[in-house]
Structure 1
């Protein structure tokens, strides 16, 4: 498994080797040029400074902030020393290149305050180099211009890398959040529905058992229903756990018309009558749409069991509309204060699931009596987000 955005060890070694060769070649070129123009030992300061800052640049990963501050400090001392000793202008190109590596690396990876400190330190060195050169020539000289250009390039490279890292981390966090929400919705849909059925049937069994031995058959039916609901819950939970483990049995399941019919028949066993209306053309919808429809119906029926046990009839209507596919689940329970404020994680999960496919969801009391949930899902790719 590889880590996106991070360089592998061979690539890092190759990059450091190329950088080391460059940091060694530039000082040698500078020394040769100074020996030919200034003569004497004018090249010693530049060679020593270039070597020290170059080594710091190669070792920057051990302590980026400390290496950057040390390199800037060496460069500042070199500027002052060159000015007092009337030596060639500093920092030389070799030092400027090494400083650029240190500054860019620090800005890209360090916390904001430390990165700003390093960037400010680099600006101080650039300004100091420019001021030190002014007494020799009123006009801008080449060395200060090179230092300013390398500093600007280092800041731009550091900020660019920092922005890419931030975008990558935001993208990873967004994916993780979507995965957490998806798992949370699956767990809620599975557990809430099946456990609600188990609780209702267990309560019914207790009520029937109090009536005497003559009702033993009905108690047995309730216990069988509890066993079925428990088995379904375990199967569904294993599927969700498989998704988390990336197991072979975790392939996504897209419930279709048969699954809706089974869901409705299971609900009628311990709830009001359900009228199911389905499109005449079967299940040509995309799997993610049929799954969303199934979950909306499942959660809506669970909410009827929880919040509207006095309902006599529930209607599940799945139909084609110009916008795509619409599923509406409505009941006829009398309005109460509690009913008019149905909500919770189930409704939030339904809305998130539908909106993630580019659809819309409305839920609220019906005129006169009852509650309805209406979800509209697009069937074309262009309508999805």
Structure 2
């Protein structure tokens, strides 16, 4: 009878240890395949670990009367600490809370039934001492979990910034060329019957604007292939403003004039030059959309010792009602360019000018000071 009772006590004491060891073997044995499958598998470790901790608590307070060997309990605690670290790393928050609480209790309270004659404060001290390895196990699992969360957050922010840049490029460059195509197509339709030669010229300009739009889209798509691919397709800068002004004048009824001293291109950094080009493109696109019959537009770049001032002014023309557009979240158009200018330490403003005209004014520093977001 005594041998049978001893065997039962030993089996009861070994049961939580064997259960914790089996759970770890199950986790390690299935730790194969692609990363997503491994994460999904390990994320289901919380409930088995909580069951092992509950079983440990039950045996800790029921088995001492039968004389459970403390060696089993020490092995059991070591395995529970490994499970604690694993669930802290992989389990979802809802399962983690319950499993973590049960395992910490099992680790902290296991020696108390084995200690007799101790005061309450001594029992609290023993439990507090065994909390230290539990805290270390939680820290060992929490650090890589935090690093993974930071990495995912950084990837999300990078993707969001890339989407915003794609939207800005499409708006700033493709929309400008497409609006020129529309203007040329409208002009060609009216002169096709009476003056086919002008229609042919309009078609040539449509072809050129379409090629420019395709080039802008190619540059935008290259951004999806990473920074190295994007670096091979630099953005336009103010050195291309003369071509832009000439194409704008040829495409519509508005005659545009560019005033830019030769030293202006050297006064701006590459990033500031790209922003200046975007500002002029957006201003000319707005003139084409909202004042297509304006007789004259002037683009003036004035360099000083510390800044470059950009002014785009158009005379009064027969205004057409702008098409109502749905509000788009995120910075597009002048709002986006205002953000660009502020990020470089500059300013941008636009408003009525003269007798019914419109003026856009931007000031970019020659040595930009980045604004903290």
* Band of TM-score, shorter chain: 0.7 to 0.9
Deviates more, 1:86-95 or 1:290-299: 86-95
1:162 to 145, 160, 177: 145
1:71 aligned to 2:38? no
Residues 253-311 of structure 1: CA deviation (Å, up to 9, x unaligned)? 24344410000110011141223222441422322221121112112111110112232
1:314 to 297, 308, 318: 297
CA distance in 1, matches of 2:11, 2:370: 69
Aligned partners of 2:254 and 2:295 also within 8 Å: yes
Aligned partners of 1:198 and 1:226 also within 8 Å: yes
The structural deviation recorded for 1:195 is 1.0
- Which residue in 1 is equivalent to 2:34? none
The structural deviation recorded for 1:68 is 1.8
CA distance in 2, matches of 1:65, 1:259: 61
1:297–1:365: structure 2 CA closer, same or farther, 3 Å change rule?
A: same
For normalisation by structure 1, the TM-score amounts to 0.75
- Which residue in 2 is equivalent to 1:29? none
Q: Report the 3-state secondary structure (helix = DSSP H, G, I; strand = E; otherwise coil) of the residue aligned with 1:179.
A: helix
- Which residue in 2 is equivalent to 1:373? 360
- Which residue in 1 is equivalent to 2:36? none
Aligned partners of 1:46 and 1:91 also within 8 Å: yes
Aligned partners of 1:324 and 1:378 also within 8 Å: yes
1:276 aligned to 2:263? no
Structure 2's unaligned 5+ residue stretches are 1-6, 32-40
1:317–1:262: structure 2 CA closer, same or farther, 3 Å change rule?
A: same
Aligned partners of 2:296 and 2:314 also within 8 Å: yes
CA distance in 1, matches of 2:72, 2:127: 8
1:226 aligned to 2:226? no
1:43–1:352: structure 2 CA closer, same or farther, 3 Å change rule?
A: farther
Structure 1's unaligned 5+ residue stretches are 1-39
1:57 aligned to 2:24? yes
CA distance in 2, matches of 1:237, 1:89: 71
1:325–1:105: structure 2 CA closer, same or farther, 3 Å change rule?
A: farther
CA-based RMSD: 3.6
1:147 aligned to 2:149? no
2:217 to 219, 237, 256: 237
Higher relative contact order (CA 8 A, sep 6+): 2
Aligned partners of 2:291 and 2:320 also within 8 Å: no
Q: Report the 3-state secondary structure (helix = DSSP H, G, I; strand = E; otherwise coil) of the residue aligned with 2:123.
A: coil
- Which residue in 2 is equivalent to 1:121? 102
1:262–1:123: structure 2 CA closer, same or farther, 3 Å change rule?
A: same
1:208 to 187, 191, 195: 191
1:328–1:105: structure 2 CA closer, same or farther, 3 Å change rule?
A: farther
Aligned partners of 2:306 and 2:367 also within 8 Å: no
Residues 125-168 of structure 1: CA deviation (Å, up to 9, x unaligned)? 25643653565422238863443112222333444433322222
